[in-house]
Structure 1
């Protein structure tokens, strides 16, 4: 059923250039916590773990054929956690005993092979059942955050240069294509940020250069999935702030949560705006059909769109997802 409220591309405070960077970092950290936290009894899993299961179940055995590139990674978001959980699923299958010694870790510049001791040639020579690789990119790179995340996993790397999702560098996707690896783009809590012209440009570039993409959102354009969910999220911030202030060694987190409640106010307000910006699967399909990709409607028909809503915390915690892949036999 279509939402009663039409999509509105309203502004979010965290997107504004005047919003202080140190507060933006705390906002992004709080969103990462929302993605990666699993509270037993209350939650069946974390949203990131659920996203990993959705990728595994929808892509099946072909999941190993892809490299997953997050084109709007921000500070890292859920992608490091999705990588960990997805590779755990792969490792649990009998056919996936793998070696990670040939996989690269750390930065890979747009036109280079990186600075690691593991060469790109070694990566290309890795066994077919190797762990799935993930790459962090963004228009505004968060290199320090990504470097820390990449150091924790040999299957996670990052691009230190600015990457425009509407104009993906040929060297970025080309290096994986040359080794026979498919490219799967990730948009985690990101696609709602794009207005229609930019969303079309990104989809056009995706269809022209990639083999699949996934859109994952924690909010939706409904009263329960938008307004109520974000109110509860705000309450969770108030409860969890002392713990994370200690974990992050950040007294400012307490200051801007309780004394000057900027953090909970921005997170809840931006969450509501995100809900109003979020597209339904039907709206994303409409953009696909009108994105101007070469080949037009015939090219779009070569892609299979799957979507749904998966619960990670009853009754309000839902992960809304769209997974789109090229049909078998499509070039």
Structure 2
């Protein structure tokens, strides 16, 4: 689908009028799907590439949602002998989820691999936190002007950046929404939430299937909104002082179809 234009539709959990609790339940479901699919196996490779190229081992995860895949990636990299310190950030930070992720990683990893978070909002297009920026599964949410501004901010502050999303493919548009919706239906009883939110999750999954519908609708739109490799290349070429960075664009083979853009200062 690289030859098709990107479709700039909206996703339900992006809307301001979507209740915050629904957005939280949705992003928690996405985090669970990352675990179920072992996305960290493929998602860790672009970050490992950046680290081998000299990127900072301090990781600043942008648009982290309810924790995202970066803590899982950190564990995989640690098993390979690569140690990182992760800071989770978001424009609307889910602090309780971030604290749960940090506690879980403290139990699993030594102090050389820490997880912390920024309690206040962090704008991905105007980030001042030092470290290698990562944005997993969220770059497509930004229209071209904002996506370009995010990359330009990394160049202006000379901070490495790793962008990973799913490649734009007809296969993913046609089949992945059904798989992701099924995952929401199967995983709901096993999600770890405080009791009131756990019961609400069950009600919004099985009694009134709002969460499965959100996952299906948003995943269809997501795959249509993904940037193609040619679009990423044009975006990078249009940045001021782009020649001061080494840019790498590619796709990791595997189930998740992980497409990446890695930028490291020269």
With the shorter chain as reference, the TM-score category is: 0.7 to 0.9
Residue equivalent to 2:208: 260
Shift of 1:77: 1.1
Residue equivalent to 2:182: 235
Shift of 1:160: 1.4
Shift of 1:57: 4.3
Residue equivalent to 1:32: 31
Please give the TM-score of this superposition, normalised by the length of structure 2.
0.87
Task: Name the CA distance, whole Å, in 2 between partners of 1:167 and 1:310.
Answer: 28
The worse-fitting range, judged by mean Cα deviation, of 222-231 and 143-152 is 143-152
Task: Name the CA distance, whole Å, in 2 between partners of 1:85 and 1:18.
Answer: 37
* 1:1-331 equivalence runs, <5 A: 3-38=2-37, 46-57=38-49, 59-60=51-52, 62=54, 65-90=56-81, 131-151=83-103, 152-153=105-106, 154=111, 155-169=114-128, 172-173=129-130, 183-217=131-165, 219-244=166-191, 247-248=192-193, 249=195, 250-291=198-239, 293=240, 299-313=241-255, 317-326=256-265, 330=266
Task: Name the CA distance, whole Å, in 2 between partners of 1:230 and 1:239.
Answer: 14
Where structure 1 has 5 or more consecutive residues not aligned to the other structure, the ranges are: 39-45, 92-130, 174-182, 294-298
Structure 2 contact 161–264 (Cα < 8 Å) conserved: yes
Task: Name the CA distance, whole Å, in 1 between partners of 2:21 and 2:264.
Answer: 38
Structure 2 contact 247–262 (Cα < 8 Å) conserved: yes
SS at match of 2:257: strand
Change beyond 3 A, Cα 1:82–1:25: same
Shift of 1:303: 2.3
Aligned residues: 256
Say which structure is richer in helix: 2
Change beyond 3 A, Cα 1:268–1:311: farther
Structure 2 contact 167–251 (Cα < 8 Å) conserved: no
Shift of 1:52: 1.9
Task: Name the CA distance, whole Å, in 1 between partners of 2:46 and 2:237.
Answer: 24
Where structure 2 has 5 or more consecutive residues not aligned to the other structure, the ranges are: none
Kindly provide the CA deviation profile for residues 27-47 of structure 1, in whole angstroms up to 9, marking residues without a partner as x: 101100111225xxxxxxx11
Which of structures 1 and 2 has the larger relative contact order (alpha carbons within 8 angstroms, sep 6+)? 2
Superposition misfits of 4+ residues, deviation over 4 angstroms: none
Structure 1 contact 309–321 (Cα < 8 Å) conserved: yes
Q: How big is the alpha-carbon RMSD for the aligned residues of Structure 1 and Structure 2?
A: 2.1
Kindly provide the CA deviation profile for residues 233-283 of structure 1, in whole angstroms up to 9, marking residues without a partner as x: 112222333333xx4341222221222111111111111111111101221
Task: Name the CA distance, whole Å, in 2 between partners of 1:307 and 1:141.
Answer: 29
Task: Name the CA distance, whole Å, in 2 between partners of 1:196 and 1:241.
Answer: 34
For the pair shown, the structure with the greater C-alpha radius of gyration is 1
SS at match of 2:252: strand
